[in-house]
Amino acid sequence: MIKRTLHGLALGLTGVFSRLLPDRVPVTFVGPDAARELCGAVAQSGARKVLIVSDAVLAELGIVGRIAASLEAAGVAAVTYDGVEPDPTFHQVEAGLALLQREACDAVLALGGGSPMDAAKVIAAAATNGGNARKLEGLFKVRKPPVPIYAIPTTAGTGSEVTLAAVVSEPDTHTKRFFIDPKLLPDMAALDPTLMTGLPPKVTAATGMDALTHAIESFISKSATPRTRAWSVAAVKLIFNHLPVAHADGADLDARKAMALASYYAGLAFTRTSVGYVHAIAHTFGALYRTPHGWANSIALPHVLEFSLPKCVSQLAQLGEAIGVQAASPEAKARAFIAAVRELKARIEIPETLEALRAEDVPRIAEQALAEAHLNYPVPRYMERAECEALLRGMMD
């Protein structure tokens, strides 16, 4: 009872927080030439030397070089830090920050998926706030505006180009540290489908389901508003219509553009409403088993929706209607929507269970996931420890 009461109080604070968020989004370029257009806009903004924060894979593929060349063609010097790895650590942030300071860069451009985005945001903030990234962890710790942040996502999942959060892991324990501040919102973003055509089907599937999870958890959140629900619905419709196409044919630019927009809309929604138990469980899978975040979300999503159903029949029924579900009652529509999520997963070859999940880990995972969720996630239905453990066992092979 005490935990439920504390959770209720936290939800009240979360609601206040969401209403106080600035009503602003990055200047956004969309389409096959969007990355080049953003580079031109960076030059017009007055930046003279930009640190590109990316990863080794994108560097090897030549994508980092392509963006650097576009910046330099626009009259902006480019310095590259490609040391970001999945679930970036403070060591990687510190290395990027040291390069920014050594080269006297006056802006940061995040290029990649969620990991480079997270690292770039924290590097940019640390550069103007004393140089110690750890001191910026938590809510509203970024006192001074970061150096300008520009974002070019190369996956369609995280929505980080429009969020005010970043996650950095401890190098030894891989414990995730969260940074949340409106100042972390990028100044400009480019949704360029040509940078996403080379994504392998498995990555396309995982990142697409990450975006879907953002949209759905935002829609059923107690902090949802008519505006955030409109963004969520747009994202859900785009994902159901285009994710199977992008998975089957990675070169389909229309499908890639649609998925980039879906991730963008979902990011706009969940950064104002927060997420829920799916993300709490997925974060624990990632920390313990190094499970890719989108894959982990996809495993947990239908299980959590079934648990939440008694408290969000109307919302899930509305999502069912959005994707064309035909059913006689709201509950039937809601159940049909959950079934459609499972069918979508099957079409893009994501299993129902997590092979790495072990029975002996279930109590620890449940404890950690609930500790995260009950801090401030505006979930529609409160989950007890035994209920979480039962849910997790349903995700085992």
CATH number of the structural domain spanning residue 219: 1.20.1090.10
pLDDT bin (cut points 50, 70, 90) of residue 240 is: very high
Whether 189 and 268 map to the same domain: the answer is: no
In a domain, 227, yes or no: yes
Q: Which domain holds residue 212?
A: 2-15+198-393
Which of 195, 223, 242 is the last residue in one of the domains? 195
Whether 141 and 272 map to the same domain: the answer is: no
The pLDDT of residue 65 is 98
**Measured between alpha carbons, how far apart are the two ends of the chain, in Å?**
33
In a domain, 24, yes or no: no
In a domain, 257, yes or no: yes
In a domain, 268, yes or no: yes
In a domain, 158, yes or no: yes
Which tokens go with 298?
Answer: 């996809």
Q: Do residues 98 and 44 lie in contact, with contact meaning Cβ atoms separated by under 8 Å?
A: no
Whether 176 and 298 map to the same domain: the answer is: no
By C-alpha distance, which of 55, 166, 52, 61 is closest to 99? 52
Whether 132 and 158 map to the same domain: the answer is: yes
Whether 63 and 9 map to the same domain: the answer is: no
Report the C-alpha gap between 371 and 376 in whole angstroms: 10
Whether 222 and 188 map to the same domain: the answer is: no
User: What is the percent of the chain where pLDDT is above 90?
Assistant: 89
Which of 171, 195, 219 is the last residue in one of the domains? 195
Check which CATH number belongs to the domain holding 129 and give it. Answer: 3.40.50.1970
User: β-pairing, 107-112 with 165-169?
Assistant: unpaired
The pLDDT of residue 13 is 56
> Is the pLDDT reported for residue 18 higher than 80?
no
In a domain, 20, yes or no: no
User: Number of structural domains, the chain?
Assistant: 2
CA angle (370, 386, 174) in 5-degree steps: 35
> Torsions phi, psi of 100, nearest 5?
-55, -45
Q: Which of 1-5, 20-24, 268-272 has the lowest mean pLDDT?
A: 1-5
The pLDDT of residue 30 is 98
The pLDDT of residue 170 is 85
> Is the pLDDT reported for residue 360 higher than 60?
yes
Report the C-alpha gap between 62 and 137 in whole angstroms: 33
User: β-pairing, 149-153 with 165-169?
Assistant: unpaired
Whether 174 and 205 map to the same domain: the answer is: no
Whether 189 and 207 map to the same domain: the answer is: no
User: Tokens 């995972």 identify what position?
Assistant: 365
In a domain, 22, yes or no: no
The pLDDT of residue 2 is 54
The pLDDT of residue 176 is 81
Question: E strands along the chain, which residues?
Answer: 27-30, 49-53, 77-81, 107-112, 138-139, 149-153, 165-169, 176-180, 188-191
Report the C-alpha gap between 92 and 89 in whole angstroms: 5
Q: What is the sign of the dihedral through the CA atoms of 331, 334, 340 and 341?
A: negative
The rounded mean pLDDT for the chain is 94
The pLDDT of residue 320 is 98
pLDDT bin (cut points 50, 70, 90) of residue 169 is: confident
> Is the pLDDT reported for residue 16 higher than 70?
no
Whether 166 and 311 map to the same domain: the answer is: no
Whether 177 and 210 map to the same domain: the answer is: no
> Is the pLDDT reported for residue 185 higher than 80?
yes
Which residue type, as a one-letter code, is found at position 261? L
By C-alpha distance, which of 211, 235, 213 is closest to 302? 213
Which of 195, 216, 244 is the last residue in one of the domains? 195
Whether 164 and 239 map to the same domain: the answer is: no
57-68 pLDDT, tens per residue? 999 999 999 999
In a domain, 250, yes or no: yes
Whether 217 and 338 map to the same domain: the answer is: yes
193-221 pLDDT, tens per residue? 999 999 999 999 999 999 999 999 999 99
